[in-house]
Amino acid sequence: MPVPSNVINPRAIDYVRADVRALAGYTTGEQQPGFIKLNTNECAYPPSPRVREALLQIADESLRLYPDPTSSRLREVAAARFGVRPGQIIAGNGSDDCLTIVYRTFLPHGHNVSCPWPSYGLYDTLAGIQGANIFHVNYRRSGTHWDLP
């Protein structure tokens, strides 16, 4: 694998696990100008004045500190709302972070994982990082919609 020109120490790549070096990087879908991007969870519009005001109200000294790394309060509220224990809730910095936590926690090297296909490309990337085997389960056409087998 060629070393990118912006790498500070080109020899640092030698310390990356060989199986990780062999992975293709995750690439996002094509983003054409002039289209609203629905696939990246980005809003096409600025926040409403009420949201801006709410953000200004919470912008105090606490923003300079790291938040609770376990999101205790969020997990407690979510657990109460859904009738489960806080320990059954995973909180993260978006779905990519939550998927990474799940893969690292539950998917040992060399084990198998399956996912629907076509689907989110990060499933394959995370499986590769874990050294797992990924199997795509193709959607099946069922009348006017698609089902998994």
**pLDDT by 10s per residue, the chain, length 149:** 555 555 556 677 777 788 777 877 767 667 778 777 666 667 778 899 999 988 888 777 777 788 888 999 999 999 999 999 998 899 998 889 999 999 999 998 999 999 988 888 899 999 999 999 999 998 888 778 777 76
Q: What is the pLDDT of residue 8?
A: 58
Q: Which two tokens stand for residue 98?
A: 């939550």
Domain ranges of the chain: 107-149
Q: Give pTM, 2 decimals.
A: 0.64
**Which H or E run contains 106?**
helix 95-106
Is omega for the bond preceding 118 within 30 degrees of 0, making it cis? yes
